[in-house]
């Protein structure tokens, strides 16, 4: 059986911040196996994952089919020699590896700082497993310090924003400020052509409740709360070391247990 060694890829001259991102990406790549259908995330840490996987593809014969979560990740993956496919091509994924803007002790996440959380959530929930790669700065006791992205359709976006702001009055959050994400002087648009409202909440007491409420508002496409989707986080450190938080392993349950099943998995059958 072919043995793959991500440690063979060892860039030099990294800053402590970049080393931490690289260390988490390198450790997560050990979970990648020959022939996997793999979801590739978007962001500065996912960038390093694609670099490592590209080396394994070119130099070690790793064969994977990858579904990127953004156009920029797709472009990078192709440049690295990775076989890029669509979710329609493969139907279901073995594993998704992605970054996060925040994660709490239950491994609930805030994602979407890069504006790709819609595709990221679609890909993650169409996977047997999601692993998050991160540095220690993203670990929080309570979600909410990082602005929560809400992707909305352009039509009537002001009305949608007003409904979002009204709905926040009924939930336990630390603040209730919203801003339209901008790209210079123009509104930022996602790969799907939508807009993003960033919610500056400071603290989110009940992520599940907030996520469900936001997605019931007409005009909202998806929000950046990932609840009960991720079960493993790999944290990289500036000295190049890493640590793994695995909810399944720490609970003593196996991957076949009901607690680790993805509730969307039946659609792959």
Largest CA-CA distance found in the chain, in angstroms, rounded = 58
35 marked as binding residue: no
Find out whether 47 and 54 touch, Cβ atoms under 8 Å: no
Find out whether 83 and 112 touch, Cβ atoms under 8 Å: no
112 marked as binding residue: yes
83 marked as binding residue: no
Which tokens in the block code for residue 161? 């924003």
121 marked as binding residue: no
* Residue 91 to residue 133: CA distance in whole angstroms: 24
240 marked as binding residue: no
41 marked as binding residue: no
66 marked as binding residue: no
- 80 has catalytic annotation: no
159 marked as binding residue: no
In DSSP notation, 78-95 reads HHTT-EE--HHHHSSBSE
- The dihedrals phi and psi of 96, each to the nearest 5 degrees, come to -120, 135
Which tokens in the block code for residue 86? 């669509």
Q: Which CA distances in Å does 256 have to 8, 28, 53, 262?
A: 32, 21, 27, 11
Please tell me which residue in 120, 165, 192, 243 is annotated as part of the active site: 120
86 marked as binding residue: no
Which tokens in the block code for residue 122? 């679609």
81 marked as binding residue: no
Annotated binding residues for substrate, written as ranges, equal 42-45, 98-101, 111-114, 138
Positions at the binding site? 42-45, 98-101, 111-114, 138
Q: Which residues are tagged catalytic?
A: 120
């Amino acid at each position: 059986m072919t043995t793959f060694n991500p440690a063979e890829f060892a860039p030099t001259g990294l800053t402590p911040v970049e080393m931490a991102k690289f260390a988490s990406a390198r450790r997560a790549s050990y979970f990648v196996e020959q022939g996997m259908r793999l979801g590739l995330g978007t962001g500065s840490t996912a960038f390093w994952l694609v670099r490592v996987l590209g080396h394994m593809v070119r130099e070690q014969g790793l064969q994977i089919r990858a579904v990127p979560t953004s156009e920029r990740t797709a472009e990078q993956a192709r440049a690295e020699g990775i076989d890029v496919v669509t979710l329609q091509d493969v139907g279901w994924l073995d594993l998704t590896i992605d970054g996060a803007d925040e994660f709490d002790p239950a491994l609930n996440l805030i994602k979407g700082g890069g504006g790709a959380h819609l595709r990221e959530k679609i890909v993650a929930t169409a996977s047997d497993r999601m692993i998050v790669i991160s540095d220690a700065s993203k670990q929080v006791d309570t979600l909410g310090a990082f602005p929560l992205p809400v992707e909305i359709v352009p039509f009537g976006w002001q009305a949608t924003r007003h409904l979002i702001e009204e709905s926040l009055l009924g939930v336990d959050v630390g603040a209730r400020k919203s801003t339209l994400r901008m790209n210079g002087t123009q509104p930022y648009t996602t790969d799907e052509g939508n807009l993003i409202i960033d919610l500056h909440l400071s603290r989110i007491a009940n992520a599940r409740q907030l996520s469900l409420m936001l997605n019931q508002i007409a005009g909202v496409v998806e929000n950046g709360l990932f609840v009960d989707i991720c079960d493993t986080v790999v944290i990289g450190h500036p000295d190049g070391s890493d640590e793994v938080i695995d909810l399944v392993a720490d609970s003593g349950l196996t991957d076949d247990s009901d607690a680790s099943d993805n509730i969307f998995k039946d659609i792959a059958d």
